[in-house]
């Protein structure tokens, strides 16, 4: 797939360079997503200022479940793969968890009660741009207001990121995880 907008090449403008150095681990090249969006420094810098990857009111695991499910529902293999690779293990997400964010449902046995609520929230927000009263009651029983706000903001932010990666056809990072494929049914009538 050929990207629709070429990434900016170094040397970067000073403010873009500073933002990239803050967000990327030492020695790791900037993500193609970042260098592509940096074609418009204003959008790039606002995107970096709105990031939610710092320590928030929810756990790293909960954050990554919301991000992974949102990106999977939006079909953003790029962003899902970067997060699965960079944060999956740190967040305690095993391969079966990561696969279930793409292929499974909130009822999969790998999920805890809180995990299921996050997945259902990602799904309802994706499908309806809202949260039903029943799900809201479940969220309120498990999460505080700050946490619910963070979950909803994450879903919205990563839907926007998914729009960027998909619309701009940003090529997958070579090291990032790939969407798992659905097992093919066995043809029993040979």
Domain 60-167 belongs in CATH node 1.20.1290.10: yes
Give the integer Cα–Cα distance in Å for 48 and 19. Answer: 7
Segment 32-57, tens digit of pLDDT: 999 999 999 999 999 998 777 778 89
pTM of the predicted protein model:
0.90
The per-residue pLDDT for 1 is 76
Quick count: other Cβ atoms within 10 Å of Cβ 31?
21
Q: Where in the chain is the domain with CATH 1.20.1290.10?
A: 60-167
Which segments in the chain show pLDDT lower than 70? 183-190
Give the integer Cα–Cα distance in Å for 85 and 96. Answer: 14
Token digits for 146? Answer: 């700050």
% helix, strand, coil for the chain, step of 5 = 55, 0, 45
């Amino acid at each position: 797939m050929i990207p629709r907008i070429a990434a900016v090449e170094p040397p970067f403008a000073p403010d873009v360079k500073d933002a990239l150095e803050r967000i990327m681990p030492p020695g790791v090249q900037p993500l193609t997503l970042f260098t592509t969006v940096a074609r418009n420094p204003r959008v790039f810098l606002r995107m970096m200022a709105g990031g939610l990857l710092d320590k928030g009111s929810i756990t790293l695991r909960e954050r990554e479940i919301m991000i992974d499910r949102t990106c999977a529902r939006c079909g953003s293999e790029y962003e899902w793969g970067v997060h699965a690779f960079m944060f999956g293990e740190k967040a305690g997400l095993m391969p079966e968890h990561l696969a279930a964010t793409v292929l499974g449902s909130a009822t999969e046995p790998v999920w805890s009660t809180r995990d299921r609520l996050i997945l259902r929230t990602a799904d309802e927000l994706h499908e309806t741009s809202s949260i039903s009263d029943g799900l809201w009651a479940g969220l309120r029983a498990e999460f505080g207001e700050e946490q619910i706000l963070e979950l909803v903001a994450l879903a919205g932010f990563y839907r926007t990121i998914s729009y960027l990666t998909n619309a701009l056809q940003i090529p997958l990072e070579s090291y990032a995880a790939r969407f798992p494929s659905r097992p093919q049914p066995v043809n029993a009538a040979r």
